Structure 1
């Protein structure tokens, strides 16, 4: 199935997965960029944003759990985030952490909060509509991991 065909399925979990990849890139960039500020809360939450980018990478690209040497506790934690509702909750929690940056001052971390919220909404819509989670074949879902191992 090509990327165009995946988007044509109108499955919100596919939209959420690709939005998650974009969010991961943005969280990585903004996490690094906001580490060099004078506000302590922004520094802490930018470190959380940077850490979130790596968590998102392992959530959205399941093939990496087989390739990268990670601890069994981390693998077990990532494997619990498999359903649309669990993904929506995980992204919602990460979004809440970034929305907290408004307590200190407005920063570019708000962009990460917006994309994290949009991704959570996509996964929530997939859950509410009863759509089964469908992993993108491009990102290592649907048998790609079995082909490599």
Structure 2
């Protein structure tokens, strides 16, 4: 049985959120690159989505903080985003910002915003249920997450 299917059975919403976070990263990178070729104000939202996706990589895969050379300030910022409440707030802010791109020009960036809001919802449910954050085994597991913090 795969680690992913085992994790689904745990009913821990922080695990669901982490997998939705990985989907947010993939959508952020793909849609940010795809929409950056618009020659209008949508470029701004695309660039911000790409930056958000890069930050999310370090939030959701903490092992990368050990591997990639980053500044001490960046590491300290990422280490502050450890609770389910903090992650829910971060994803909600990013998701709302991307959905606001529809005010200017409806585009596929809305899909990234919707997935980010779904991720925020899962993190918020985990926080309200007092479920501890549990890192996915496929992404390094709890041992790696504790080693980083």
TM-score of the alignment, normalized to the shorter chain, above 0.5: yes
Deviation digits for residues 53-81 of structure 1, max 9, x if unmatched?
11111000000000100000000000010
**Structure-to-structure mapping, 1:64-103, within 5 angstroms:** 64-103=64-103
Q: What is the CA distance between 1:142 and its match in structure 2? A: 1.4
Q: CA deviation at 1:146?
A: 8.0
Unmatched runs of 5 consecutive residues or more in structure 2: none
Counterpart position of 1:16: 17
Tell me how far apart the structure 2 counterparts of residues 128 and 39 of structure 1 sit (CA, whole Å). Answer: 41
- Pairing 1:141–2:130 present: no
In the superposition, the TM-score normalised over structure 1's length comes to 0.93
Q: Give the match for residue 28 of structure 2.
A: 27
1:34-53 equivalence runs, <5 A = 34-40=35-41, 42-53=42-53
Structure 1 outlier segments of 4+, above 2 Å = 144-147
Relative to the length of structure 2, the TM-score reads 0.93
| Structure 1 residue 24 displacement after superposition | 0.3
Alpha-carbon distance in structure 2 between the residues aligned to 1:72 and 1:48: 22
Q: What is the aligned partner in structure 1 of residue 111 from structure 2? A: 111
Say how many residue pairs are matched.
146
